[in-house]
Amino acid sequence: MKSVTYIKCADQVVTMKGASHLPKKGNEMSEIGVIENGSIILENDKISFVGSDQEAAQYLESLNGAATTIEASGKIVTPGLIDPHTHLVFAGSREKELEMRLQGAKYIDILKQGGGILSSTRSTREATMEQLVEQASRRLDRFLQYGVTTVEAKSGYGLTVEDELKQLRAAKVLNSIHAIDLVSTFMGAHAIPAEYKDNPDAYVNLVIEEMIPVVAREGLAEFCDVFCEEGVFTVEQSEKILEAGKRYGLLPKIHADEIVRIGGAELAAKVGAVSAEHLLQASDEGIQALAESGTIAVLLPGTAFFLMEKPARARAMIDAGVAIAISTDCNPGSSPTQSMPFVMNAACLMMKMTPAEVLASATINAAHAIGLADRIGSIEVGKTADLVLFQASNYQTLQYNFAVNLVDTVIKNGKVVVQ
């Protein structure tokens, strides 16, 4: 039997209407399609009506059947939040590194000394797939409590063929058992594993010749990502890996210009990357290149906060006409959080993005960054019914209140999953 849900008379419905074909860039990020006193009707897992409450009542009558009503007055409704960049699946944790960093150690130096990503790699290699599923599942539960309904998840703590596959298979299992939908990215090029320390090119070859083909053959990822950074993968190595991924149908993403400006943004534009991530050090030319190639800048202000660094230049990017998405970067070293609302606060307060721009970045633009904007990211007829009700009477309140969870109800595929 068809299930009908009537979300009645929210103070505001923030629709993000009209950006399913292309991400919102530059000034378009402020046009978020707010309906005052709006209602939404869901039929099964899809949105079938959005508009004024009066019209909603008429539409409901035409359906001629029982509907479950969710009273939304005093609340706002937004599309389900989308996190387009996480390192969700890993084992172990790295509290000690926080203490080291508080005493002045640098994130990248900890990695160079065999800690950081390599420490999580050791723990992840030791874990079974079932243990990875169990630990990541608890993180997903928290994501859901914070209003997140879709998450991208990268591999990159295995760094052997088998251990990378184990991480990606764990993500596949999680996608099938958890309410949150997952999109997978292969990131075998996350660090040079210890056993290849003296021969990084041999590891690059392993990624290209063995890992990418098997990941593609088993259909375990949609995207391929590389940590293009001084002391990690060079621009040349990154390009080779991303081009190899493309040949196997994996769309390129890139961790670019995070710590040292080495031309990661320019490379993202050159290879036609769907997104370039971090970009703390991106040059003016790099930003311009992203605008011209239509590459989405995925910004991670929670990471800048946790690493105590200056965040990316979001305003310069918006002025240049770049489309921005934001994300937690959830990972054990540089951003151990599942709170998109916190990251949204940080985007506003640290990068001076307006509340409207922040919402566009966490919904429709994030959907574009993971290739799902035809299905999710906005409240439009025909789209999947992934929605969040917040305890707020206008969308600005989401950034005015900070470090609190205003999530009231989360709806995933038309079903209430958090209440």
Query: For the chain, what is the largest distance between any 2 Cα atoms, rounded to a whole number of angstroms?
Result: 71
Interaction of residue 251 with ligand NIG, rule CB under 6 A: no
21 is in an annotated binding site: no
What mask, x for binding ligand NIG by CB under 6 A, covers residues 337 to 356? --------------------
CA dist 140 and 202 (Å) reads 35
d(CA 166, CA 169): 5
Q: Which CB sits closer to ligand NIG, 306 or 395?
A: 306
d(CA 254, CA 243): 12
Least distance in angstroms from the C-beta of 413 to Fe ion: 27
Q: Counting contacts by CB under 6 A, is residue 333 touching ligand NIG?
A: yes
Of 116 and 311, the one with the shorter C-beta distance to ligand NIG is 116
Residues 62-101, interacting with ligand NIG (CB under 6 A): 87
What minimum distance in Å lies between the beta carbon of 154 and ligand NIG?
Answer: 8
Distance between start and end Cα atoms, the chain: 24
- Indicate whether 5 belongs to the interface with ligand NIG (CB under 6 A): no
190 marked among binding-site residues: yes
332 binds ligand NIG (CB under 6 A): yes
- By a kind-dependent CB cut-off of 5 to 8 A, residue 409 interacts, out of ligand NIG, Fe ion, none, with none
Nearest one of 154, 132, 86, 155 to 340, comparing CA atoms = 86
Rounded CA-CA distance 78/93 in Å is: 33
- DSSP designation for 27: G
# binding residues, ligand NIG (CB under 6 A): 13
Rg, Å, the chain Cα set: 21
- Spatial separation of the C-alpha atoms in residues 217 and 80, rounded to whole Å: 31
Give me the residue label for tokens 């633009």: 365
Compare residues 28 and 163 and give the one whose CB is closer to ligand NIG.
163
Count CB atoms within 10 A of the CB of residue 206.
18
Instruction: Tell whether residue 266 is a contact of Fe ion (CB under 5 A).
Output: no
Is residue 200 within 8 A of residue 190, CB to CB? The reply is no
Q: State the binding site for N-formimidoyl-L-glutamate.
A: 157, 331, 333
From the annotation, which residues make up the binding site? 85, 87, 94, 157, 190, 255, 258, 329, 331, 333-334
Residues that bind ligand NIG (CB under 6 A): 87, 116-117, 120, 227, 255, 258, 303, 329, 331-334
* Site residues, Fe ion (CB under 5 A): 329
